[in-house]
Amino acid sequence: MPREFKTVGLWGRLDERAVAEPALQVLKHLKKRGITVFASVESDGNDAFGEATRVAEKDLVPAVDLVVAVGGDGTLLHAARHVAGRDVPLLGINRGRLGFLTDISPDHMLQAMDLILAGDYLSERRSMLAARLASRSDDETLLAVNDVVLQKGETGRMLDFTTVVDGVYVNTHRGDGLIVATPTGSTAYALSCGGPIIQPNVSALVMVPICPHTLSDRPLVLPSTSTIRVTLEQDTHSAAHVMCDGEARAKLGAGETVTISLATQTVTLLHPRDYNYYDLLRSKLNWGRANRDHRPARG
- Among left, alpha and beta (phi > 0; psi -120 to 50; other), residue 54 is beta
In whole angstroms, give the CA distance from residue 57 to residue 48.
17
DSSP-H helix ranges across 3-65: 17-32, 57-60
3-state secondary structure of 246: coil
**Residue ranges per structural domain of the chain:** 7-121+272-293, 128-264
Name the residues annotated as catalytic. 73
Q: What is the dihedral of CA 69, 75, 76, 78, to 10 degrees?
A: -120
> Per-residue pLDDT tens for 51-105?
899 998 889 999 999 999 999 999 999 999 999 988 899 999 998 777 789 889 9
Q: Are 11 and 75 spatial neighbours (Cβ–Cβ below 8 Å)?
A: yes
CATH T-level assignment (fold) for domain 7-121+272-293: Rossmann fold (3.40.50)
The side-by-side arrangement of strands in the sheet containing 204-210 is 220-223, 204-210, 177-181, 147-152, 240-244, 247-252
> Per-residue pLDDT tens for 96-142?
777 789 889 999 999 999 999 999 999 999 999 999 998 766 667 99
CATH top class, domain 128-264: mainly beta
> Per-residue pLDDT tens for 5-38?
999 999 999 888 899 999 999 999 999 999 999 9
